[in-house]
Amino acid sequence: MATRGSRTVYGLIGRNVGYSWSPLIHNTAFEALGMPCVYTIFDIADPALVGDALRGARALGIQGFSVTIPYKKTVVPFLAELSPEAEAIGAVNTIVNDNGRLAGHNTDIAGFAAPLMPWADRIRGKRVCIFGNGGAALAAVEAFRTFFRPSSVLLFVRELKKAEEMLAGYEHRGLVVPCRTGDLDLPLGGQQLQECSVIVNATPIGTAGRKDPVRSIVPAGRELFHPGQIVYDMVYNPLTTTLLDDARAAGAETVSGIEMLVAQAAQAFFIWTGKEMPVGTVRSVLMREIGEPAPGGRG
Ligand code: NAP
């Protein structure tokens, strides 16, 4: 849309993020609310330039950023303050520029929790599990701890030492029990999974366009899902994955990553603008776009 005059600028900082859905999400919201704002992508190839980028943003008056892989930790030293959530996991996915003072937040935590809220009573005091040892997995651990108080979080990883690396410096490490994904092939591993009230995929397995040897992080044909369980895939492209199809077929409840994608963006939008994102409009535009096979995969 051609306009006269200036617009307030927001953007995404990351590397190789050309396929992100974030511009569509935020520009749809700005347009729906008639706000003179624009959201764009700042693809930074060299990590050494992240500090320069943020100093430049203060000079230019860029009002806010989303931050994604691999810079969620890299940006921290350049920020004047961190929200308690960002501090808890040492990672920032949202920056707001308050008159030159940059503050870091993490909306992945509340964004992950939002679609689980209807089942909060079912989760409290029970065991849950997460697959993955990246930043999304740690955000999910912190979300469970803060909002749902499970008895423990089983963290299924390929290598136990990576779980230890992920948890280094995390104050609530005692809540988390690292397990090997390979142990799922043993009777005890399968039983542990069956006993979880929520199963979360925080790996990219299932994302459109990937050539993984397996289609789902949970082995097929083992009857590991059952009614009463909630299976949550952080993958949002495609909207429904093999993991969610298998879980639904076994009678479990399912949550698609699109819910987290929209919820974390809505919270960032509120932090930047003080306005509620029109999530219904944003979700339907996004679902229409993702409905088509797309080559991307990140928020
Ligand atoms: P990340 O830091 O790159 O971590 C990826 C994790 O997946 C690592 O633990 C990695 O294990 C594991 N993994 C990769 N390939 C695997 C395989 N073949 N088998 C088993 N584990 C495998 O990424 P992230 O930021 O945590 O994000 C993880 C996923 O969540 C991505 O798909 C991302 O798009 C999605 N996500 C979605 C939202 C949303 O709003 N819906 C938000 C954040 C993230 P190794 O260390 O062993 O390689």
- The pLDDT, as a whole number, for residue 295 is 43
Three-state secondary-structure class, residue 142:
helix
What are the beta bridge partners of residue 152?
Answer: 127
- What are the sequence ranges of the domains in the chain? 8-107+259-291, 110-256
Look at residue 296 in the predicted model and tell me its pLDDT.
44
State in Å: Cα 199 to ligand 1 middle: 15
Q: How many CB atoms lie within 10 A of CB 44?
A: 17
CATH topology identical between 8-107+259-291 and 110-256 = yes
In angstroms, the CA 80 to CA 162 distance is 30
User: Which atom in ligand 1 lies closest to the alpha carbon of residue 297?
Assistant: 34
Task: State the pLDDT at residue 235.
Answer: 96
The domain 8-107+259-291 is classified under which CATH number: 3.20.20.370, 2.160.10.10, 3.40.50.10860, 3.40.50.620? 3.40.50.10860
Q: How far apart are CA 36 and CA 9, in angstroms?
A: 9
For a substitution probing ligand 1, which of 184, 234, 261, 262 has the most ligand atoms within 8 Å of its CB?
Answer: 234
How many A from CA of 134 to the centre of ligand 1?
6
Q: Rounded to an integer, what distance in angstroms lies between the CA atom of residue 244 and that of residue 154? A: 19
**How far does residue 156's CA lie from ligand 1's centre (Å)?**
12
Q: What is the pLDDT of residue 293?
A: 45
How many Å apart are CA 162 and CA 21, to the nearest integer?
29
Enter the pTM of the model.
0.94
* pLDDT for the residue numbered 18: 87
Pocket lined around ligand 1, Cβ cut-off 6 Å:
69, 108, 132-137, 158-159, 162, 181, 202-205, 207, 212, 234-236, 257, 260-261, 264, 297-299
CA of 132 to the centre of ligand 1 (A): 6
Domain 110-256 bears CATH identifier 3.40.50.720: yes
Per-10-residue mean pLDDT of the chain, 299 residues long, equals 81 94 98 98 97 97 97 97 97 97 98 98 97 96 98 97 95 96 86 95 94 89 91 95 96 97 98 98 93 48
Q: 72, 161, 211, 275: which one is catalytic? A: 72
Residue 72 annotated to the active site: yes
- Distance CA(269)–CA(271), nearest Å, equals 6
Q: What is the pLDDT of residue 294?
A: 42
